[in-house]
A and B are shown apart, each in its own frame.
Chain A
Amino acid sequence: MNDEASGFTVLDVKTGQAAPLAMEGLWLAGRVLPVGARLLVVHTFRSAEARPLEVVYAFGLPRDAALRRFRIVGDGFQVRSDLRRLGEAQAEYERGISQGHLAALMRTYRDGRVNLSVGNIRPGELVKVYLELVAGVDLSDDGLRFRFPFTLAPCYHRGARAVEIEPGAGEMELPEAEFGDLLLPRYLTDTGALHSVGFDLSVGGGGAIGAVGSPSHALRIANLGTDDVRVGLSREKDVPDRDLVLDIRMRQAATRFSGGRCRDGKARFTAVVPSTLLGKAPRTSKSVVFVLDRSGSMAGPAIEQAKKAVEACLGTLGESDRFGFVAFDDQADLFAPSLAHASIENRQLLRQFLLGIDARGGTELGQGLREAVRLAGADRVELILITDGQVAGTEDLLGQVQAAGARLHCLGIGAASQDRFLTLLARTSGGVSRFPTPRERVDTAALDLFAAIGAPVASDVQVDFGELPGGRGILKTVSSVYAGHPLVVMGETSGEARGSLRVTWNSGGSAGELRVDLQPSRDCEAETVRLLQGARLITELESGVRGEWPANPQRAEAKREDRRLIEKLEATSLEYGLASRAMALVAIVERQGDDASQVPTTRVVPLGMPQDVAFKSYFMAASGPPGAAGRMAQDFALRCAPPSHFADIRCAFLRFPRPGMPTESLNTVDDRLVDFAVRLQPDGGMPGQTDGERVVRTLILLVAFLAFGHTSRSGPFRLHVQKMVSFLKQQLPNAVPTERREPIARMLANVEAGGSCTLRKPEAALDLLGSSRAIDWPAWEAIEKGIAAPTP
């Protein structure tokens, strides 16, 4: 248990006394492979009750994850779980509890939420549950991001009941018709009194690792060899208020394999083919619709950075490109009723519109998406969703997006982002997704995503398994590949994993082909790869199951569809030995002295509010007496609204302190780069009084971008760099003095080839651009002198 000094404790709602915490710690171990992770989560429960205890721990599954099995271990016993049909597992658990046996049940609900229930823990007893699971990872061309939830974020649902039960403690309940008997934790703003969390993971198996880092936790890293790294928490323990996020970069962006021969004689493999091997994205005109979540949970820097990101993305568009903008909370607001050309006038109008956008209200994501799809019309338009994804009942949204046929790219932000849902949302529609954490910048992550999605690197992608003995794909391969996002192929053969895959695609009207040789594999990874394939299949099937089966008898058709999917889920669960919404894990421990005479006390393990989410965006306290402003406003309201509406307006018109989170820019280098990126004109140049001044300003900004590590091929500002180069090349014959043309042309050629340069005092270049005085060629001369030799 976390024993750090804290002025806060968890109180029993009935007695008002300090409630003993039932969970002491959660420890994550396992191995992260290039295609996913095989994990062991150790839950330590200790009863401080005077009577038998039933403890319920709620958690969310990571992306593409499934539960394999668990062991329940205590003094003198160790029992493994069985995989059973849901009804049987529940009945078995209830039988065990009623007979006084120690019983454990692990059941998955909608949105990948899970309840682990352990009942009849004896007074003073320590019990550990070792849970095995597999989870997917967020793949990029040159590495991956691994994410594991240590807390479960509250979520928006139209039928949710949420209330602040005491200062800094909130409770949320979801409607039974959809979520069954799911129990959610109590959310605490003060995490000091909660259980401790920690981790120790090995990473490897995919080639030489270049770097390992985490934006969420301080790491202790040990190199076990060039291909293997061990990563742990640098401090002894931490608190459950955010996801663990690990970034792993490989030394080279090369094809990565995992797999080998399984016990059944078949070989399973997963190949990750970098998008760079499939070519470069052609520059075509773009039509995009930004869909911005402005719900209360986005309050603070997230929404401000997201707004800036939208403006900066527009800075990469030309006059022929078109855009739309939808902001949604419980209603959707449109910038314009149809797509607008990305002219400088329209961008300025959007800037004005964005000034009125702040965070408020609920997250009616469906409504926002409906408006975006309507705005897109029949055209092939890329939708970019910027959200924390904290919604419940996500299966309905997935169905809606699938039916609309729109391509949706997701930028998921937050300390406990629903990346499982947002990954499915993007994948279902053929788009891509990225997930920055609160300690990273939303705007640069949005620019990075935006740079990737202009046009696919490859479309109509096909994978031929014909040259592999008994080869076949496990999942349908995506039809489009975007820059930076690799092609992932999951397959199996009847023998060894040897031979070649043939990948064909279309790129800008011409056909492409690539042979990918399966590399010698490691059989020790084969079982993990098999389980990851099963988890992916289960996740995709689960995403189609709507209601709480077999609830809601009125929806006969939905129920029939759910039943069909549940049958498929059962079969897939049995084939792979993995739990799902149709199959649960249960264990009963019969011991000497089991006492059926007492009904256990049930306690739900509390969790920390995700560190970046405003408590008040979900939980409201009871209203106190209104102040003078409140009385004034209530007076207005009484005159404005009939009394019958007052049941629906509450805490009305009380004065709240201003939000504590800073919303203004911190004016870091990235902030300044975003500010300048926003100012780029549709032709790619900076604004100025004359053509000459525009060229000089653009040149200075270009070398500043290069000096800060953004080239035409890498970095979130790569589209801006490309656009500036294109502008400068056009201006070279007319607006550049003859004697300067050759060195500038050389520099532009180097930048086009992906080259960079270093600049002495690059901040001074930004200061110069930020000043209001006219800039001409002498200013460029001064900057030019500070440029070191360009680096290819």
Chain B
Amino acid sequence: MTLVELAERSGVPGRTIRFYVSRGLLPGPVKAGRGATYGEEHLRRLREIASLQAAGLTLGEIAGRLGGGRDGIERLEAAAWWEYRVAADVSVHVRAGISPWRLRQIRKHVADMVSGLRKQESEERS
């Protein structure tokens, strides 16, 4: 299929497909030239990328998972993270976008940890 047909079938715009090819997320066309064609493999890969994105992975991470990225990039797990300064020099990072009940639970445990930290610090001082 042509790039236009691939874009139509996958719902991914043509420019985005070219961007993915340039980033190494997607192989180039099967046949180059005026009749550049893309196959079912491209379609499958585009769907895979979409589902990994929905799971919170960035394109760099996806490139790593799909085998096209450099070492060091593919191992990143982060999506968006919130940073909480729990002590003068200690930070806690919590994944953004998690459900409110889960966030509440995590907050509670972090609070427990903070009080534990404070207790330990005061013990060290004394």
A interface, CB within 8 angstroms of B = 13-14, 16, 54, 56, 90, 93-94, 97-98, 117, 119, 156-166, 171, 173, 176, 180-181, 183, 296, 329-330, 358, 360-362, 596-604, 616-617, 620, 622, 629, 632-633, 636-637, 640-641, 645, 647-658
Contact = CB atoms under 8 A, between A and B. Distances in A.
A596 B34 contact: yes
Contacts of A160: 79-80, 96
A622 B32 contact: no
Given A599-B29, A640-B116, A655-B89, A183 B19 contact: yes
A93 to B, nearest CB: 8
Given A163-B60, A596-B33, A616-B83, A652 B109 contact: no
B80 A181 contact: no
A637 B106 CA distance: 10
Given A14-B24, A162-B78, A90 B83 contact: no
Would you list the 10 A-B pairs with minimal beta carbon distance, nearest first? Answer: A641-B109, A597-B33, A640-B109, A361-B82, A648-B95, A181-B13, A14-B24, A602-B19, A602-B22, A640-B112
11 contacts: A16-B70, A158-B97, A161-B53, A173-B59, A176-B53, A597-B34, A603-B22, A632-B120, A641-B110, A650-B95, A652-B93
A655 B91 CA distance: 7
Given A361-B82, A654-B91, 15 more contacts: A13-B63, A14-B69, A94-B14, A166-B72, A180-B13, A622-B72, A636-B112, A636-B113, A641-B106, A647-B95, A648-B94, A648-B106, A649-B95, A652-B92, A657-B89
A300 to B, nearest CB: 13
A653 B90 contact: yes
Contact of B16 (A13, A98, A157, A181): A181
Nearest to B13: A181
B47 interface: no
A649 B32 contact: no
Interface string B61-98: 10100001110110111111111111011111111111
Contacts of A657: 89
Residues of B contacting A: mostly? mixed
B66 to A, nearest CB: 12
Contacts of A14: 23-24, 63, 68-70
A636 B116 contact: yes
Nearest to B64: A13
Nearest to B69: A13
B102 interface: yes
A158 B32 contact: no
A210 B63 CA distance: 56
Contacts of A601: 18, 22
A629 B69 CA distance: 32
Kindly state the interface size class of chain B when it binds its partner: 35 or more
A16 B63 CA distance: 14
Given A597-B33, A597-B34, A636 B73 contact: no
Contacts of A622: 72, 75-78
Contacts, number: 197
Contacts of A649: 92-95, 106, 110
A13 B63 CA distance: 9
Nearest to B116: A636
B15 interface: yes
A163 B78 contact: yes
Given A622-B75, A649-B94, A98 B102 contact: no
Nearest to A362: B82
A162 B92 contact: no
Contacts of A157: 80
A85 to B, nearest CB: 16
A652 B117 CA distance: 14
A541 B68 CA distance: 42
A602 B117 contact: no
A90 to B, nearest CB: 7
Nearest to B59: A173
Contacts of B83: 296, 360-361, 616-617, 620
Contacts of B18: 54, 97, 599-602
Q: Which of B7, B33, B112, B113 has the most CB of A within 10 A?
A: B113
Interface of B: 2-4, 7, 12-16, 18-19, 21-24, 28-29, 32-34, 36, 53, 56-61, 63, 68-70, 72-73, 75-86, 88-98, 102, 105-106, 109-110, 112-113, 116-117, 120
B77 A650 contact: yes
A649 B90 CA distance: 14
A162 B79 contact: yes
A98 B4 CA distance: 9
Contacts of B60: 13, 163, 165, 171
A157 B79 CA distance: 11
B98 A633 contact: no
A630 to B, nearest CB: 8
Nearest to B32: A597
Contacts of B34: 596-597
Contacts of B21: 599, 602
A117 B22 CA distance: 15
A358 B78 contact: no
Nearest to A597: B33
Contacts of A604: 19
Most A CB contacts (10 A, CB to CB) among B2, B13, B83, B117 go to B83
A292 B31 CA distance: 56
Given A622-B75, A632-B120, A636-B117, A362 B93 contact: no
Tell me which of B7, B13, B15, B59 has the highest count of chain A C-beta atoms within 10 A of its own C-beta.
Answer: B15
A171 B59 contact: yes
Given A171-B60, A637-B109, A649-B95, A655 B90 contact: yes
B109 A330 contact: no
A258 to B, nearest CB: 39
A327 to B, nearest CB: 14
B73 A13 contact: yes
Nearest to A596: B34
A620 B24 CA distance: 23
Contacts of B63: 13-14
B29 A163 contact: no
Nearest to B23: A13
B106 A94 contact: no
B106 A645 contact: yes
A161 to B, nearest CB: 5
Contacts of A654: 90-91
A640 B113 contact: yes
A616 B98 CA distance: 20
Contacts of B13: 90, 180-181
B58 A171 contact: yes
Contacts of B70: 13-14, 16
Contacts of A296: 82-83
A94 B56 contact: no
A94 B3 contact: yes
Query: A93, A161, A599, A657: which has the most chain B beta carbons within 10 Å?
Result: A161
A181 B113 CA distance: 42
B15 A117 contact: yes
Given A173-B58, A640-B113, A163 B76 contact: yes
A304 to B, nearest CB: 14
B5 to A, nearest CB: 11
Nearest to A598: B32
A602 B53 contact: no
A98 B3 CA distance: 8
Contacts of A648: 94-95, 98, 102, 106
Given A597-B32, A616-B83, A649-B106, A633 B117 contact: yes
B106 A161 contact: no
Contacts of B82: 296, 329-330, 360-362
A329 B103 CA distance: 14
A562 B79 CA distance: 29
Contacts of B12: 181
A85 B123 CA distance: 69
A19 to B, nearest CB: 10
